Amino acid sequence: MIKSPNLPGYLDYRPDGRYLRVWCAWCVEWHCCRAGDLRPAHITHTVGQCYAPDSPYRAGYGITVSLAPFDAVVRSVREATAADRKAIVAGRIDPAIAALRAQRPREELML
């Protein structure tokens, strides 16, 4: 049995409710699901929402809710463009896509 990865999730407070955002380094985008009653330090699990055919997260993954809110990390990574997504779906992982995939969210000072 393969142990599923555990990724940090960030609470995103929106007018229509709270969401949990998880950075997927394989799809190079923020996956999103309803946060329900989740609070920082809670651990949850989700099914994969990945479009990247080579993503190991497609089988699902664990999420640990971070103390940092989504607003504090969202600008620390750059999501794939439509063209990048086409390349990822086609399995064309060139150095530019590899660099996007190497990004990891980090907490930034909110000024």
Residues binding Zn ion (CB under 5 A): 24, 26-27, 50, 55
Amino acid 38 reads L
Report the chain's C-alpha Rg in angstroms: 14
Instruction: Name the residue nearer to Zn ion (CB basis): 35 or 57.
Output: 57
Instruction: Name the residue nearer to Zn ion (CB basis): 39 or 92.
Output: 92
Residue with tokens 């907490």, as numbered in its chain: 107
Instruction: Name the residue nearer to Zn ion (CB basis): 27 or 38.
Output: 27
Structure tokens at 60: 């699902």
Min dist CB 5 to Zn ion, Å, is 11
Min dist CB 109 to Zn ion, Å, is 28
Min dist CB 55 to Zn ion, Å, is 5
Kindly list the distances between the CA atom of residue 50 and the CA atoms of 25, 31, 55, 98, in Å, as whole numbers in the listed order. Answer: 10, 8, 7, 17
